[in-house]
Amino acid sequence: MESTDRMSERSVTWLSASQLSSLYRRRELSPVEAVDAMLARASALQPHLNALVLIDAAVARKAAKESEARWLKGTPLSPLDGVPTSIKDTTQVKGWPTRIGSHATDEMPATESAPAVERLQAAGMVLLGKTTTPEFGWKALTDSPLQGTTRSPWNLKHSPGGSSGGAAALTAAGVNPFNHGNDGGGSIRIPAAHTGLVGLKPTFGRIAQYPADAPFADVVSQGVLSRTVRDTALALNAMAGPDPRDWRSLPAEPRDYTIGLEEGVRGLKLGLSLDLGHVKADAEIRALVVAAAKRFAELGALVEEVGPLIEPLQNSFEPLWLGSFAVRLRQIPSQLHGKLDPGFRAAAEKGLAITLADYAKAYEARSKLARDMALGHRKYDLLLAPVTPTSAPLVETLYNSDAFPRWTKGAPYTLPFNLTGQPAASMPAGLTRAGLPVGLQIVGPPRADPLVLKAMRAYESASGWTWPQAKVLEALAGF
């Protein structure tokens, strides 16, 4: 393949997966050239963003050469063949360690890959490395005792959110088209909102996961953080499907998630909730979400505000959160407790007091929440809401502190839809006066991933949001 003279190294890194695929097919760009450009940009930005745990250039270049040979023969494994991505370091990749941001883990390479990783590699994707996460993915910011602080490409003083913060930073900084993340309380949607990205949490079980018996395994969905809806659909095509290691994974459903993306939302009935009944978002966030929701009305949907939907989460669901942390703490030798993130340790130690009755009561509340939301979708095809109550916090913010409580500032808008397993996404809703992105959340009924994607694409087509964003280029100028 011959490199196009019209394309600079940096412009290559801002291409979508769809664009890369088209260039590969026309032999105007090689996967090797794309990977080299993206490795170079990732390495240049790493000292400033700290988004990567490891970069494996040798493995990436080998996979790129194999992809190049397939494209030259006209036998790509999928439209994503040769497209570079990365894997969040909560997730096993054979041959690489899984440190999860913690000194309580070791450097032993994983002996097998998670199902999502295997599927991305089966599609021919090139793995650049692994991305940062807070310790055990415990919070909606990305800093850890082991890997330090990850910063937003919009403003290096701010966090990209979490726990898929490294993936968000890479994608928004124009390193590569999309990056793997997972979402157990908002960990795809929150960093997507804070960095202006597209972030879909698919229906629980749509993408198999392993280990499937880890804490929070029954609320976590795998996915990606992307710059376009089409790339998100392509990634879902590659990743969706069951795996025998995950008994909760949904049955195979032959479907191309890119089909129907352009059908629009005319005639759909959408409910808008700015507070879910109890959340106090900043006035600026509320105004941007209202303006974003109006775009759906302009596209022919009926949008109306709904009354209170969900009771405050903390009383009912704190036992699930703290109890799961306590399970993790019990697995860590006591001599290592002093090396843990103090916030995680405090939450986990509090969780040691959770009783079986507390846990069972929380599961009863979870069943009621899922039932209430499913019944609510009889009236509304989709629900619109903010993703977060604030824009991206400063990197020194202490999560779950008095200044930034988890239940009112961290994940109050996103967690409910992990508990119910519904598909939910973040779309860019504009910028605050300080120049930080805000997210609009689109929530669908159980298993209605195609409907959510269709609404995401309709909104995207009307929003005028494009990449690269000027403020990101300004923040990263000279790097």
| pLDDT at position 215 | 78
The residues, any chain, with a CB within 8 Å of residue 11's CB and separated by 6 or more, are none
Q: Write down the number of H helices and E strands in the chain.
A: 15, 13
- State how far the Cα of 451 lies from the Cα of 257, in Å rounded to an integer: 10
User: One of 86, 102, 163, 316 is an active-site residue; which one?
Assistant: 163
pLDDT at 53: 98
CA diameter of the chain: 67
Q: How many CB atoms lie within 10 A of CB 277?
A: 12
Q: Of how many residues is the chain composed?
A: 479
pLDDT attached to residue 67: 98
For residue 144, list its beta bridge partners. Answer: 148
pLDDT tens-digit series, residues 302-351: 999 998 899 999 999 999 999 999 999 999 999 999 999 999 999 999 99
Catalytic residue among 67, 86, 88, 139: 88
Mean pLDDT of 382-409: 97
Assess contact for 456 and 232: CB atoms under 8 A.
yes
DSSP conformation letters of 263-297: S--TT-EEEE-SSTTT----HHHHHHHHHHHHHHH
Number of CB atoms found within 10 A of residue 390's CB: 18
**Predicted confidence (pLDDT) at residue 206 exceeds the cutoff of 70:** yes
Q: Which residues pair with 442 in a beta bridge?
A: 384, 425
pTM score of the predicted model: 0.97
Task: State which amino acid sits at residue 88.
Answer: K
Residue 9 has pLDDT above 70, yes or no: no
Q: Which of 18, 187, 221, 426 is catalytic?
A: 187
Give the pLDDT confidence of 126-143 residue by residue, as tens digits: 999 999 999 999 999 999
Per the CB < 8 A criterion, the answer to whether 286 and 394 are in contact is no
pLDDT digits (tens, 9 = 90+) for 346-383: 999 999 999 999 999 999 999 999 999 999 999 999 99
Distance CA 49, CA 52 (A): 8
88 is catalytic: yes
Nearest Cα residue to 167 out of 153, 184, 146: 153
Q: CB 209: neighbour CB atoms within 10 A?
A: 22
- Residue 213 pLDDT exceeds 90: no
Supply the pLDDT for residue 4: 44
The whole-number average pLDDT for the span 62-73 is: 98
* Residue 376 three-state SS: helix
Which whole number is the average pLDDT over 207-230?
Answer: 93
Instruction: Please write the tens of the pLDDT for every residue from 25-56.
Output: 999 999 999 999 999 999 999 999 999 999 99
Average pLDDT, stretch 189-214?
A: 95
Q: Single out the residue of 96, 88, 83 nearest to residue 124, CA to CA.
A: 83
Q: What is the pLDDT of residues 146-183, one digit of tens each?
A: 999 999 999 999 999 999 999 999 999 999 999 999 99
- Chain-centroid distance of CA 296 in Å reads 23
**pLDDT tens for each residue of 421-442:** 999 999 999 999 999 999 999 9
Cα separations in angstroms, 80 against 55, 74, 209, 393, 466: 20, 14, 21, 34, 21
Q: Are 113 and 94 in contact (CB under 8 A)?
A: yes
Alpha helices in 269-400, H assignment, sequence order: 283-298, 314-330, 342-351, 356-376
**In terms of Cα–Cα distance, which of 316, 308, 317 is closest to 278?**
308
Over range 69-76, report the average pLDDT.
98
**Selection from 424, 464, 450, 463 nearest residue 296 by Cα:** 463
239-252: pLDDT as tens digits: 999 999 999 999 99
Element housing 131 (H / E): strand 126-131
Which residues face 87 on adjacent strands?
Answer: 130
Task: Tell me how far CA of residue 270 lies from CA of 374, 377, 442, in angstroms.
Answer: 14, 9, 9
Asked if residue 468 has a cis previous peptide bond (ω within 30° of 0), the answer is yes
For 390, the token pair is 């604030």
Candidates 180, 129, 466, 185; CA nearest to 317 is: 185
What is the structure's pLDDT at 7? 64
Instruction: With beta carbons less than 8 A apart as the criterion, state whether 45 and 261 touch.
Output: no
Q: In 10 A of CB 31, how many CB atoms?
A: 30
Token couple for 421 = 């397993």
Q: Is residue 6 over pLDDT 50?
A: no
CA dihedral 131, 136, 139, 143 (to 10 degrees): -50
Predicted local distance difference test score (pLDDT) of residue 2? 45
pLDDT digits (tens, 9 = 90+) for 441-455: 999 999 999 999 999
Mean pLDDT (the chain) is 96
pLDDT tens per residue, range 259-289: 999 999 999 999 999 999 999 999 999 999 9
**Could you confirm whether 163 is annotated as catalytic?**
yes
Contact 417, 376 (CB under 8 A): no
The H-or-E segment that residue 218 falls in is: none
Per-residue confidence at 1, pLDDT binned at 50, 70, 90? low
Structure confidence at residue 71 as a pLDDT band (50, 70, 90): very high
- Cβ(386)–Cβ(439) below 8 Å: yes
**12-475 in CATH: which number?**
3.90.1300.10
- pLDDT value of residue 362: 96
pLDDT higher than 60, residue 392:
yes
- Give tens-digit pLDDT for 406-423: 999 999 999 999 999 999
**Residue 11 annotated in active site:** no
CA dihedral 421, 167, 470, 404 (to 10 degrees): 70
